[in-house]
Chains A and B, each alone.
Chain A
Amino acid sequence: MWMLSFVPDSILYLVVIGIMFSGISLYAFSFITRVLPPLLPYTGMIRILGTILTVVGIYFFGSYSTEMEWRAKVAELEAKVAVAEQKSTEANVKIQTVVKEKIKYVKETRVVIQEHIKTVEAKIDSICKVAPEAIDILNEAAATPGAKK
């Protein structure tokens, strides 16, 4: 059935309509055979064939309509997805710009504070001496919990 997707919609539509109206025409024709004696023996056969073609044609018409409806829905959804992907990319660019700026600011602030420490280094170190235990406690707190030593 997938091969039918290669057939242009207009041709498919014509074939479906052709089958349906052939059936209806044959069915209607079967009532005229009364006035055409040579065709009288085939009346039943023509009517059955007309009926079958009509039913098959209507079935195909229903299938065709459903198929077209689905194709339209898929196309609509594809368009929405394309718009969403565009929005997603734009949002990412915006987020990326903001995060870069924030991180840059944090790094710059850290440099400023480090420079500030340097200016008062002598004063701080002259007032206070750090006990080795304090360093151990600090490092213990800084260690990643659960990480191998």
Chain B
Amino acid sequence: MNKLLIAVAILSLTGCAMFETPTPVKRNFPSVPTELMEACPDLKKTEPTEKLSEVLKVVVDNYGQYHECKIKVDTWVEWYKTQKDIFESVK
């Protein structure tokens, strides 16, 4: 009887969490800088002209547009890596 009591008591000590199931910790998805949420516009097209300078202006605008988009893409990558590191630091 006593041995049975000891055995049951030891098993009971493992105690199921019967009082309350722990609430999972809520984590919010990190917000993204608004600049990165803007879509890259289409490239500009050149109006029919014989002037090379007019063509050049459009090409320069498009190059600039490319550089802006490159910055956004590179920043997205950096944002992802940074936020991933921060997310994984919580264990």
Chain A residues near B (Cβ < 8 Å) = 1-2, 4-5, 12, 51, 54-55, 58-67, 70-71, 73-74, 77-78, 80-81, 84-85, 87-89, 91-92, 95-96, 98-100, 102-103, 106-107, 109-110, 113-114, 117-118, 120-121, 124-125, 127-130, 132, 134-135, 138-139, 142-144, 147
Please measure, in the bound complex, the distance between the C-alpha atom of A10 and the C-alpha atom of B34, giving whole angstroms.
Answer: 48
Q: Is A103 a contact partner of B9 (Cβ separation < 8 A)? A: no
A132 to chain B, nearest CB (A): 6
Please measure, in the bound complex, the distance between the C-alpha atom of A55 and the C-alpha atom of B4, giving whole angstroms.
Answer: 11
12 chain-A/chain-B pairs, Cβ below 8 angstroms: A2-B20, A55-B9, A70-B17, A84-B90, A89-B31, A92-B33, A95-B75, A117-B53, A118-B53, A129-B50, A129-B52, A147-B42
Given A71-B22, A84-B86, A88-B30; 15 other pairs, CB 8 A cutoff: A1-B18, A58-B9, A64-B19, A70-B22, A74-B23, A74-B25, A81-B25, A92-B32, A95-B33, A102-B71, A114-B57, A114-B60, A117-B56, A121-B53, A142-B45
Q: Which residue of B lies closest to A74 (CB)?
A: B22
Q: A55-B9, A91-B82 are in contact. Are A62 and B14 (CB under 8 A)?
A: yes
When distances are taken between beta carbons in the complex, the residues of chain B under 8 Å from A103 are: 35, 68, 71
A62 to chain B, nearest CB (A): 2
Q: Which residue of B lies closest to A56 (CB)?
A: B12
Interface centre among B5, B9, B35, B51 (most CB of A within 10 A): B9
B25 to chain A, nearest CB (A): 5
Contacting residue for A92 out of B25, B30, B46, CB 8 A: B30
When distances are taken between beta carbons in the complex, the residues of chain B under 8 Å from A125 are: 51-53
A145 to chain B, nearest CB (A): 11
